[in-house]
């Protein structure tokens, strides 16, 4: 998409998690993607119109990139003005199709429709309620033990809940929070403030946890060619009742709900 122009934009329905912006397809057509960015789990396409296309995959969304397919539109709904399925080999969950001047056809697929797309002006982007409050990127130089300790200082919530707070660290999800806590030998149930001193300086636990977060994410990226839910990829996630994989630990992986999310951990080696 970067450097290419939107030749045609097909919408197969009027909404995803939320309705598409007014004149969404018309505002994209003819515009060039100046650059692609990412902030936490948001994908940002900065356009030649100075607007930014903000995209989020939700829980089940994905993009399929193909080249050399000819766009064919078979019709529009009279009530929603949404394009009907363009080709017989398109799937029922292919909701948005971008035809780019580079010859690529980029299809957004989302069975559960928890993803969304929006078009924001620079002012709207700067004041976006989610994007403007995000913490540091976990793989950036801005995120380290000191930054993590400052964010957790005085927090009475659990350490797992703190890691899922996007103001503490941006883009860290439930799976890799559990994985990082196990790698760092820290219980998800312990109070977040225990990894920092009263002045907000990092304790050894914060040093281990910041390093573990970076390690599990780097490993996940290196393995990204395979489905992320493959069981052999995880230390604790989705392994309740199984033996702990840490050397010399005889514990059993436990499962517990925290703030509506499921935590997996070893009660024996995670303290």
The closest alpha carbon to 51, from 19, 27, 17, 72, belongs to 27
pLDDT band at 89 (very low <50, low <70, confident <90, very high): low
If one counts every other C-beta atom within 10 angstroms of the C-beta of residue 137, the result is: 17
Q: Which helix (H) or strand (E) holds 147?
A: helix 145-152
Structure tokens at 107: 């299809």
Residues 108 and 186 in one domain: no
Give the DSSP letter of residue 164: H
Question: Does residue 139 belong to any structural domain of this protein?
Answer: no
Distance CA 28, CA 108 (A): 15
pLDDT at res. 90: 73
If one counts every other C-beta atom within 10 angstroms of the C-beta of residue 14, the result is: 13
Question: Does residue 180 belong to any structural domain of this protein?
Answer: yes
Structure tokens at 210: 């910041």
pLDDT at res. 223: 84
The C-alpha torsion from 179 through 181 and 185 to 188, rounded to 10°, is -130
Contact 46, 37 (CB under 8 A): yes
Residues 106 and 164 in one domain: no
pLDDT band at 13 (very low <50, low <70, confident <90, very high): very high
Asked if residue 235 has pLDDT above 70, the reply is yes
Distance CA 60, CA 115 (A): 8
**Which CATH number goes with the domain that contains 156?**
1.10.8.50
Asked if residue 69 has pLDDT above 60, the reply is no
Average pLDDT, the chain: 90
pLDDT at res. 79: 35
Asked if residue 241 has pLDDT above 80, the reply is yes
pLDDT at res. 229: 52
Distance CA 91, CA 270 (A): 44
The closest alpha carbon to 139, from 235, 39, 223, 55, belongs to 39
The closest alpha carbon to 269, from 244, 234, 241, 233, belongs to 244
pLDDT at res. 259: 86
Question: Does residue 50 belong to any structural domain of this protein?
Answer: yes
- The model's pTM: 0.78
Contact 66, 103 (CB under 8 A): no
The contacts of residue 167 (CB under 8 Å, 6+ apart) are: 133, 134, 135, 151
Rounded mean pLDDT of 47-75?
81
Lowest mean pLDDT among 62-66, 95-99, 229-233, 264-268: 229-233
Q: State which of 111, 133, 155 marks the end of a domain.
A: 133
What Rg, from alpha-carbon coordinates, does the chain have? Answer: 22
Residues 118 and 29 in one domain: yes
Contact 169, 151 (CB under 8 A): yes
Asked if residue 194 has pLDDT above 90, the reply is yes
Question: Does residue 10 belong to any structural domain of this protein?
Answer: yes
Residues 120 and 225 in one domain: no
pLDDT band at 230 (very low <50, low <70, confident <90, very high): low
Give the domain range for residue 172. 145-265
Distance CA 47, CA 126 (A): 16
If one counts every other C-beta atom within 10 angstroms of the C-beta of residue 141, the result is: 8
Contact 169, 146 (CB under 8 A): no
What is the maximum alpha-carbon separation in the chain? Answer: 66
Residues 30 and 124 in one domain: yes
Question: Does residue 96 belong to any structural domain of this protein?
Answer: yes
Number of domains in the chain: 2
- Give the dihedral sign, CA 7/10/11/17: negative
Residues 99 and 152 in one domain: no
Distance CA 6, CA 233 (A): 38
Residues 210 and 124 in one domain: no
């Amino acid at each position: 998409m970067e450097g290419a122009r939107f030749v045609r934009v097909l919408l197969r329905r009027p909404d995803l998690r939320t309705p598409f912006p007014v004149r969404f397809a018309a505002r994209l057509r003819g515009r060039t993607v100046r650059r692609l960015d990412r902030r936490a789990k948001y994908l940002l396409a900065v356009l030649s119109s100075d607007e930014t296309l903000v995209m989020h995959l939700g829980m089940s969304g994905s993009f399929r990139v193909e080249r050399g397919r000819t766009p064919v539109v078979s019709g529009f709904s009279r009530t929603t003005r949404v394009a009907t399925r363009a080709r017989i080999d398109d799937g029922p969950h292919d909701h948005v199709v971008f035809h780019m001047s580079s010859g690529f056809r980029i299809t957004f697929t989302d069975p559960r429709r928890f993803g969304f797309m929006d078009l924001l002006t620079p002012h709207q982007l700067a004041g976006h309620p989610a994007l403007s409050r995000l913490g540091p990127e976990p793989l950036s130089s801005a995120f380290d033990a000191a930054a993590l300790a400052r964010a957790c200082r005085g927090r009475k919530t659990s350490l797992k809940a703190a890691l899922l707070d996007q103001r503490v660290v941006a883009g860290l999800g439930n799976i890799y929070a559990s994985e990082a806590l196990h790698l760092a030998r820290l219980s998800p149930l312990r109070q977040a403030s225990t990894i920092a001193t009263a002045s907000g300086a990092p304790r050894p636990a914060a040093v281990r946890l910041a390093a573990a977060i970076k390690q599990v994410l780097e490993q996940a990226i290196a393995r990204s060619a395979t489905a992320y839910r493959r069981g052999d990829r995880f230390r604790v996630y989705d392994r309740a009742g199984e033996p702990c994989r840490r050397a010399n630990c005889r514990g059993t992986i436990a499962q517990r709900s925290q703030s509506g999310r499921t935590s997996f951990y070893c009660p024996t080696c995670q303290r």
